[in-house]
Structure 1
């Protein structure tokens, strides 16, 4: 079931009431921003119904006067295949992570891993020697600034990171588009990788977690500046992620057997994500006021 644009409205129009009504009626939908407009998407089979509903209740139904009639034939949640079509950039990033995990054998294949790490390295017996970043950049290996986000060390590592990237990445892609999601992911990877290198020194690190904290900070602050249903994260998600960050920084997580945690990458990602969320949210609020 393909989704189509049902409404295209200026950003100044408040859709929150109508979106709340759609949620109460369990109507599958999403709202995105495109070219200075907010776009309401819904399955093609119920376009006329949604348009008719908006004409009658543009501000929603805050007093719950509208009787809700169950429509099990059209109220189904989009299937996984449809979600993939709606979020191609999110899916591509996760697919690359899976491919890299297979090629590097989740970090065990060092000969393959060394081409994706922030610093190139060589093995001498039981010792590892890192190549200075300046030498790698001079050799044109610029991809090293970003590719650590694709590396994962263990099944649990990639499973948890993949799950959260799917959740946060799709929200950003649906609201701000695929290009913005890719751009933000690369920026958060760059900043978190440099933060980990500057504070942790030469070492082997990788994973999407720095990017995830960037996405979290972006959605969190953006939502405070320019509220939108897509960025309305459950409060428990935000609290859990911030508590996990605090536990990692305390050293407790490493002590109980989770290995070394790239805390600087997490903090760096969260900080730059809050900055982009602030700038993006202020810009969206400005457009809404025009």
Structure 2
């Protein structure tokens, strides 16, 4: 159950009496300081309405008051099915990715991969020949501009990307809705694919990592401009991902024999994500 904002008050307002009341009633809460204000959060919209009404009646606290018995207590962690239903776009994207992984044999079935790659290609002996991008687009194969995000090479590649998309996708879907998550995913895929194409030329690449760097940048910048619980990432996550990006850029991963890294896609996705986070966060800040 996600946290819901109850009150947003100046720092000069003394909330200690009301907080003591919430503690006595065993109401789960959290107080944060954002943009020079103190914000009170509780889990769930129903409890938020009750606490908001409670503050209107007893802003200084009152030891005699009791919440209605039907008021929810501590939030109960939703089961897997409930989480899937609450994050439909995230779940559908992962389901589609798993289906493509099965059809492509995690990168071994080139007869299927060639229909999803950024450019069509033919394999002759030890060589791979790519068709011009314009040729595929002229034939109406516009899906190639975003479909490489569905291709994964190996179970570790799939598992890591799937885990991060589940984590970041659910955050954005809960805060900005499934349609926005879909637009961001397709947009970041488009930008990261072109960034990789321009940086490496004709090549076979794939995976959600460019999209993931976009989602990460979006959450990071959005949170700095318009703080919200959904986009509050665990400490060190952004630093870890940036360090990983630098390690990949250094060529160390390729030198160790782990395969080529789509660095252009990572950088393109991150820049695009920071841009959308800047716009979205600024608009959210103005609305507040």
TM-score range, shorter chain: 0.7 to 0.9
Unaligned runs of 5+ in 1: 28-39, 66-70
State yes or no: 1:156 paired with 2:124. no
Unaligned runs of 5+ in 2: 30-41, 64-70
**Compared with structure 1, are the counterparts of its residues 246 and 57 closer, same or farther at alpha carbon in structure 2 (3 Å cutoff)?**
farther
Deviation string, structure 1 residues 237-259 (Cα, Å, up to 9, x no partner): 11111111111111112222321
Q: CA deviation at 1:235?
A: 2.4
Q: TM-score, normalised by structure 1?
A: 0.79
Structure 2 counterpart of 1:177: 177
RMSD over aligned Cα, in angstroms?
3.1
Structure 1 counterpart of 2:54: 56
Q: C-alpha separation between the residues in 1 aligned to 2:87 and 2:128? A: 39
Structure 1 counterpart of 2:44: 42
Structure 1 counterpart of 2:192: 192
Q: C-alpha separation between the residues in 1 aligned to 2:204 and 2:140? A: 20
User: 8 Å contact 2:148–2:193 — kept in the other structure?
Assistant: yes
**Compared with structure 1, are the counterparts of its residues 53 and 208 closer, same or farther at alpha carbon in structure 2 (3 Å cutoff)?**
same
Q: TM-score, normalised by structure 2?
A: 0.80
Q: C-alpha separation between the residues in 2 aligned to 1:227 and 1:41? A: 17
Structure 2 counterpart of 1:32: none
Deviation string, structure 1 residues 187-213 (Cα, Å, up to 9, x no partner): 000000000000011111000000000
Q: C-alpha separation between the residues in 1 aligned to 2:5 and 2:233? A: 24
**Compared with structure 1, are the counterparts of its residues 41 and 73 closer, same or farther at alpha carbon in structure 2 (3 Å cutoff)?**
closer
Deviation string, structure 1 residues 220-274 (Cα, Å, up to 9, x no partner): 1111111111111122111111111111111112222321100000000000100
Q: C-alpha separation between the residues in 2 aligned to 1:74 and 1:149? A: 39
Q: C-alpha separation between the residues in 1 aligned to 2:179 and 2:50? A: 33
How many residues get paired? 254
User: 8 Å contact 2:27–2:74 — kept in the other structure?
Assistant: no
Q: C-alpha separation between the residues in 1 aligned to 2:76 and 2:255? A: 44
State yes or no: 1:14 paired with 2:8. yes
Deviation string, structure 1 residues 11-47 (Cα, Å, up to 9, x no partner): xx639x99xx89x9667xxxxxxxxxxxx8738xxx3
State yes or no: 1:144 paired with 2:144. yes
**Compared with structure 1, are the counterparts of its residues 72 and 178 closer, same or farther at alpha carbon in structure 2 (3 Å cutoff)?**
closer
**Compared with structure 1, are the counterparts of its residues 280 and 110 closer, same or farther at alpha carbon in structure 2 (3 Å cutoff)?**
same
User: 8 Å contact 2:27–2:73 — kept in the other structure?
Assistant: no
Report SS of the residue matched to 1:51.
helix
Structure 2 counterpart of 1:87: 87
**Compared with structure 1, are the counterparts of its residues 249 and 7 closer, same or farther at alpha carbon in structure 2 (3 Å cutoff)?**
closer
